[in-house]
Chains A and B, each alone.
Chain A
Amino acid sequence: MDSLSRTEKIRYSRHLLLPEIGIAGQEKLKQAKVLIIGAGGLGSPSSLYLAAAGIGTLGIVDFDLIDATNLQRQVLYDTDAVGKSKVQMAKERLSRLNPEITIRMHDQRFSASTAKELIAAYDIVIDGTDNFSTRYLVNDACVLMNKPNVYGSIFRFEGQSSVFSYAGGPCYRCLFPEPPEGDAIPNCAEGGVLGVIAGIIGCIQANECIKIICSIGKTLKGRLLLFDSLAMSFDELKIDRNPKCPVCGNLPTITELRDQDEICASQNQPGAPTATTNSNRVSTTKESTVMKEITAIELKKELSSGKELVVLDVRTPPEVALGRLESCVHIPLQELNQRLDELDKEKDIVVYCKSGGRSRRAIEVLQNHGFKHLRNLTGGITAWSFEVDPSIVVG
């Protein structure tokens, strides 16, 4: 086992004074290899504290660039880092914080094809993902590779944390067997999140990680921690391992990793929408209903020509308050079923949301109620802001 240098003994002296950690525990931390998947709201505090704590090897996986909307909670990054690589900036920041440790950058999307190889080189995984697709992939990979998965998730003023796939305990799929369909659950890019929540839950993840490495205390294995910042309350629920779990159960049906196709927050970045000039473009919904699409530039042309059409915004009121298309009709997706009489079935309707996901769901609702002249704004108001009117702020 690596012994601690004099410099390290000074740096970690407050740990060394704790009988539960001491020199033996600090040496375990130095030996440990921890992989943080997602260098965002959760990955920022967890990586900062794990680096400061002296985790010997810290791996960071992310493919994204830093966006101005990240800065409210992703405390790894400074304002002048906007537009730069997250893992590169994370490495620079964490290396300055603690030059005694090794930081490995994995500037890539966490995908089924690379997950096993990536995780194999680490002892523990921190789930700092921001979308269900990657979250389920992290879980499945950890179960298949028998690695502890320190879980955290956040939304608005609420957070959850647990330790999955550890010492015979349950996994994430034991709790939630399958991800929600489509837009059943909004993400933080749609519903918002208090930045501090990411800090609190990310720190809880770092705490659980250190406990696992040092074999101290009682981890969150088999317990789901709920945090409500408005009530300022912590609560916990009991989670049992599910013998019928599709990945860790007695007869697992998931034995290989697969990427799940879904709308995720990481697809909602500025610049993501791709402009095209094909006005006959169609897309297919989950129910295989043909759906017409229109690009932001095409919509701009139609509006400028005076063509009579209704532009329907199905986002939430706080999103609309930030910026909207002029003279749009606003009906939040959740209220659409109850407010159909506000729309004329005979008119051409272009539906938009932030990036095109909820508007597709809205079109399905309208189609089911006999509306026929419907088009989806490809890339939503994000595309409109990017391609037509940069003055519109998209949250």
Chain B
Amino acid sequence: MKIHIPSPLRSYTKNESIVESHGSSVRELLQNLDHAYPGIRFRMIDEQDGIRQHIRIFVERNQVTDLSMPLKGNELVHIICALSGG
């Protein structure tokens, strides 16, 4: 499935704004994403397995609150990041 990557994390994806990955849940999707782009998961998920407070994940434009949320495989995923600039 397609995953939109925010600017601050694109250094992990060779500057790609949209990447492909797969997983039967959001948790598995992020693990697979980390295999392809080592280190990116830790920027999104903290040591307590929670989504970092300045990162939000959306599946089909709705916010993910539970990493065990199941995925069918064809969803559109957005990862967004708080931006400070103005």
| Chain A residues whose C-beta falls within 8 Å of the C-beta of B56 in the assembled complex | 175-176
| Chain A residues whose C-beta falls within 8 Å of the C-beta of B54 in the assembled complex | 176, 178-180, 184-185
Closest to B10 in A: A156
Which of B29-37, B66-74, B77-85 makes up part of the contact surface? B77-85
CB distance from A323 to the nearest CB of B (A): 21
How many Å lie between the Cα of A127 and that of B84 in the bound state?
11
Decide if A185 touches B86 in the complex (CB within 8 Å).
Answer: no
How many Å lie between the Cα of A153 and that of B82 in the bound state?
8
Decide if B6 touches A240 in the complex (CB within 8 Å).
Answer: no
In the complex, per-residue mask of A178-197: 1 if CB is within 8 Å of any chain B CB, else 0:
11100011111001010000
Does B48 belong to the interface (CB within 8 Å)? no
Does A157 belong to the interface (CB within 8 Å)? yes
How many Å lie between the Cα of A285 and that of B11 in the bound state?
26
| Chain B residues whose C-beta falls within 8 Å of the C-beta of A175 in the assembled complex | 56
Decide if B11 touches A155 in the complex (CB within 8 Å).
Answer: no
Does A149 belong to the interface (CB within 8 Å)? no
| Chain A residues whose C-beta falls within 8 Å of the C-beta of B7 in the assembled complex | 155-158, 191
Closest to B9 in A: A185
| Chain B residues whose C-beta falls within 8 Å of the C-beta of A128 in the assembled complex | 86
How many Å lie between the Cα of A265 and that of B86 in the bound state?
9
* Size bin of chain A's contact surface: 35 or more
Q: Which of B7, B17, B62 has the most CB of A within 10 A?
A: B7
Decide if B61 touches A187 in the complex (CB within 8 Å).
Answer: no
| Interface size counted on chain B using CB atoms at 8 A | 23
Does A231 belong to the interface (CB within 8 Å)? yes
How many Å lie between the Cα of A40 and that of B84 in the bound state?
13
Decide if B58 touches A237 in the complex (CB within 8 Å).
Answer: yes
How many Å lie between the Cα of A264 and that of B86 in the bound state?
11
Does A130 belong to the interface (CB within 8 Å)? yes
How many Å lie between the Cα of A135 and that of B52 in the bound state?
18
Decide if A43 touches B53 in the complex (CB within 8 Å).
Answer: no
Decide if B63 touches A240 in the complex (CB within 8 Å).
Answer: yes
How many Å lie between the Cα of A188 and that of B17 in the bound state?
18
Does A131 belong to the interface (CB within 8 Å)? yes
Does A356 belong to the interface (CB within 8 Å)? no
CB contact list, B13-70 vs A, under 8 A? 17, 43, 52-54, 56, 58, 61-63
| Chain B residues whose C-beta falls within 8 Å of the C-beta of A135 in the assembled complex | 84, 86
Q: Which of A41, A152, A176, A179 has the most CB of B within 10 A?
A: A176
CB distance from A249 to the nearest CB of B (A): 14
Does A38 belong to the interface (CB within 8 Å)? yes
Which of A92-100, A209-217, A222-230, A367-375 makes up part of the contact surface? A222-230
How many Å lie between the Cα of A239 and that of B7 in the bound state?
20
How many Å lie between the Cα of A187 and that of B82 in the bound state?
11
CB distance from B51 to the nearest CB of A (A): 10
Decide if B82 touches A179 in the complex (CB within 8 Å).
Answer: yes
| Chain A residues whose C-beta falls within 8 Å of the C-beta of B53 in the assembled complex | 176-180
With A185-B84, A191-B8, A240-B63 already in contact, 5 other A-B pairs whose C-beta atoms are closer than 8 Å: A40-B86, A154-B86, A155-B83, A155-B84, A185-B81
Provide 23 A-B residue pairs closer than 8 Å at the C-beta atoms, listed in order of the A residue: A152-B86, A153-B83, A155-B7, A155-B83, A155-B85, A158-B6, A159-B83, A160-B80, A175-B56, A180-B54, A184-B52, A185-B83, A185-B84, A186-B8, A188-B86, A191-B7, A191-B8, A198-B86, A224-B80, A226-B80, A231-B17, A237-B62, A238-B58
